């Protein structure tokens, strides 16, 4: 059974249709990349799955149960920016998730519970390579380190789904490569289910096990808001298929060539 | 070297900053000496010696009528009023600003009220305060609170409301409820801003304090200045004004240092 199921999902803002007829089944353990031109509703789709926005029509189910239209600890998120809290150290940022759930009133932990949480947080920081930076504040770290922290912060809640909204878009190419290796390793080790929105086609194909392309099927020049975006390509990439793709890159290029992809504002 | 990029060093900056103050004092002494050469009994620009003598009487000698050391009694009374007023304003800002800033329904409910109160000139409310609270301490403290709290509330609430939406969403995905977001995300990030708002409110707070004391009081720095004005006692007024300036600067400096020490993350300081 699919972990996450979207059935006939529509997102409309008044007259403007952003997404139409989105039906998807996302399997547990998959890494889904979402690409598409700017304004094609990639981020809207992510916000709906996150629970930040309510779809105008359609249903979303997680493990067969309808998903409440609220953000909750079953779905972790890493945004392009502002994902970490500037007033907390690296350790404080990572502990926060454990503190919220353990004590709803003070949102803090004390004594042995705190010590246990700290060792759990430190183990998580070890995994993302921030063990030596645990007393730094985000303002003292590079963008790449902040995104590592944001990932550690989200993963400590062991979310059913991890949502990434252009998480590496603001990083420079060398750092981005390291981050790709990191997220791939974490995805394998933790058996994560990841949905990632990106502008970078190469990133979408190299990381994902499945690539979704959102774009408008129809366009009315007199009423551009009339039709929303839908999934126009849904490519399953098993690792083997991916290798074949790498060899026959020409095919892939041809496939992608038909879609208008906006690379402006990519980096 | 261009003027816009010329950064004076620390020692030189202190020297440059002291220069106008020294020049001002020097100019005053020259003007006072000139007036005294014309008229030895001049009261408008007293010489430093006369000021010292007048202040010594207020600082070191008990007033024969009340038995109080007037300078210290005035300072204590004024600082108590100011402290109470600013303390109440800060506490209510923290409470109201936090709730208004982080909860949109409360913002929709209370935002217009706070704005309406903030645009009323507080001095216009002083008669009402005197009628309601009498001429005692309450009215003076209330004037300071009403004078600065709405501004501080608007500032802090606006700052909290402008925190990136991503932070709230992230906190919710980490298992927070609304209370948790207020306590661990909004409150700590509002604190440096609260101190900043308090620093900016020091000036208006002094204005309201002196005004209230000038109108109805029997002790206080503002009361004394307005009392001795009747005798053209510039030898008391000028040192009192300088003393108020020193108190205000010390408060501002202490708040600024405190904020840097407690909330270093907000000041981009290395830890």
Strands of A53-119, DSSP E: 57-62, 65-66, 75-78
pLDDT tens digits, B19-51: 999 999 999 999 999 999 999 889 999 999 999
pLDDT at B145 over 80: yes
Query: Distance from A107 to chain B by nearest Cα, in Å?
Result: 6
pLDDT tens digits, B186-201: 999 999 999 999 999 9
B174, B177, B264: residue with CB nearest A97:
B174
pLDDT at B56 over 90: yes
Percent of chain B with pLDDT over 70: 99
Contacts of B166 in chain A (CB under 8 A): 79, 81-83
* pLDDT for residue A83: 86
A72, A83, A87: residue with CB nearest B170:
A83
pLDDT tens digits, A119-171: 999 998 988 888 898 899 999 998 889 999 999 999 998 898 999 999 888 88
Continuous segment of H or E residues that includes residue A77: strand A75-78
- When computed from its CA atoms, the radius of gyration of chain B, rounded to whole angstroms, is 23
3-class secondary structure, A229 = strand
pLDDT tens digits, B151-206: 999 999 999 999 999 999 999 999 899 999 999 999 999 999 999 999 999 999 99
pLDDT tens digits, B61-120: 998 888 899 999 999 999 999 999 999 999 999 999 999 999 999 999 999 999 898 899
B180, closest residue in chain A (CA to CA) = A107
pLDDT at A250 over 80: no
Q: How many CB atoms lie within 10 A of CB A8?
A: 12
pLDDT at A27 over 50: yes
Q: Which of B175, B191, B265 to mutate to test the interface with A (most CBs of A within 10 A)?
A: B175
> What is d(CA A210, CA A241) in angstroms, rounded to the nearest whole number?
11
Please compute the mean of the pLDDT values over residues A87-105 and round it to a whole number: 89
> Residues A229, A41: contact at Cβ < 8 Å?
yes
Q: Does A103 touch chain B (CB under 8 A)?
A: no
> What is d(CA A13, CA A217) in angstroms, rounded to the nearest whole number?
19
Whether residues B173 and A85 touch (CB distance < 8 A) is answered with no
- Altogether, the residues listed in chain B come to a count of 271
User: Which are the contacts of A165, defined by CB distance < 8 A and separation ≥ 6?
Assistant: A43, A46, A77, A78, A79, A80, A197
Q: Does A86 touch chain B (CB under 8 A)?
A: yes
Predicted complex ipTM: 0.83
pLDDT at A251 over 80: no
Angle between helices B48-60 and B70-92 (to 10 degrees): 80
pLDDT at B247 over 90: yes
pLDDT at A259 over 50: no
Q: Does A158 touch chain B (CB under 8 A)?
A: no
pLDDT tens digits, A225-236: 888 888 888 888
């Amino acid at each position: 059974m699919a972990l996450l199921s979207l059935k006939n999902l529509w997102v409309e803002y008044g007259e403007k249709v952003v997404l139409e007829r989105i039906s998807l089944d996302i399997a547990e353990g998959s890494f889904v990349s979402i690409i598409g031109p700017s304004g094609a509703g990639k981020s809207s789709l992510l916000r709906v799955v996150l629970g930040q926005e309510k779809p105008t029509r359609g249903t979303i189910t997680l493990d067969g149960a309808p998903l409440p239209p609220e953000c909750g600890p079953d779905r972790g998120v890493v945004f392009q920016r502002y994902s970490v809290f500037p007033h907390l150290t690296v350790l404080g940022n990572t502990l926060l998730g454990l503190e919220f759930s353990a004590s709803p009133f003070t949102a803090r932990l004390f004594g042995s519970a705190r010590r246990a949480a700290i060792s759990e947080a430190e183990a998580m920081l070890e995994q993302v390579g921030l063990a030596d930076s645990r007393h730094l504040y985000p303002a003292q770290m590079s963008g790449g380190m902040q995104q590592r922290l944001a990932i550690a912060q989200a993963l400590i809640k062991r979310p059913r789904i991890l949502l990434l909204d252009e998480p590496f878009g603001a990083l420079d190419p060398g750092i981005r490569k390291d981050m790709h290796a990191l997220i791939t390793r974490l995805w394998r080790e933790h058996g994560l289910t990841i949905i990632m929105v990106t502008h970078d086609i190469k990133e979408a194909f190299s990381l994902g096990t499945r690539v979704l392309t959102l774009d408008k099927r129809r366009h009315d020049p007199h009423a551009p808001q009339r039709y929303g975006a839908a999934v126009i390509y849904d490519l399953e990439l098993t690792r083997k298929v991916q290798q074949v793709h790498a060899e026959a890159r020409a095919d892939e290029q041809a496939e992608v060539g038909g879609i208008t992809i906006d690379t402006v504002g990519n980096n | 070297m261009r003027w816009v990029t010329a950064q004076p060093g620390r020692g030189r900056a202190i020297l440059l900053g002291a220069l106008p103050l020294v020049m001002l004092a020097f100019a005053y002494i020259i003007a006072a000496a000139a007036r005294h050469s014309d008229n030895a009994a001049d009261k408008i620009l007293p010489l430093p010696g006369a000021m010292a003598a007048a202040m010594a009487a207020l600082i070191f000698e008990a007033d024969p009528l009340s038995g109080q050391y007037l300078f210290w009694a005035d300072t204590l009374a004024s600082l108590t009023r100011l402290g109470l007023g600013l303390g109440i304003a800060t506490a209510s800002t923290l409470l109201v600003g936090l709730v208004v800033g982080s909860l949109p329904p409360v913002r929709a409910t209370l935002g217009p009220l706070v704005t309406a109160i903030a645009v009323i000139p507080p001095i216009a409310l002083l008669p009402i305060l005197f009628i309601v609270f009498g001429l005692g301490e309450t009215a003076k403290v209330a004037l300071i609170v009403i004078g600065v709290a709405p501004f501080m509330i608007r500032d802090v609430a606006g700052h909290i409301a402008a925190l990136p939406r991503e932070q709230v969403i992230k906190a919710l995905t980490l298992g927070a409820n609304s209370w948790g977001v207020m306590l661990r995300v909004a409150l700590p990030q509002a604190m440096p801003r609260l101190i900043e708002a308090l620093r900016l409110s020091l000036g208006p707070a002094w204005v309201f304090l002196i005004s209230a004391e000038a109108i109805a009081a029997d002790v206080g720095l503002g009361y004394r200045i307005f009392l001795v004005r009747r005798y053209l006692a510039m030898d008391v007024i000028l040192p009192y004004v300088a003393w108020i300036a020193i108190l205000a600067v010390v408060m501002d400096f202490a708040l600024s240092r405190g904020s840097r020490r407690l909330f270093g993350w907000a000041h981009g300081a290395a830890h």
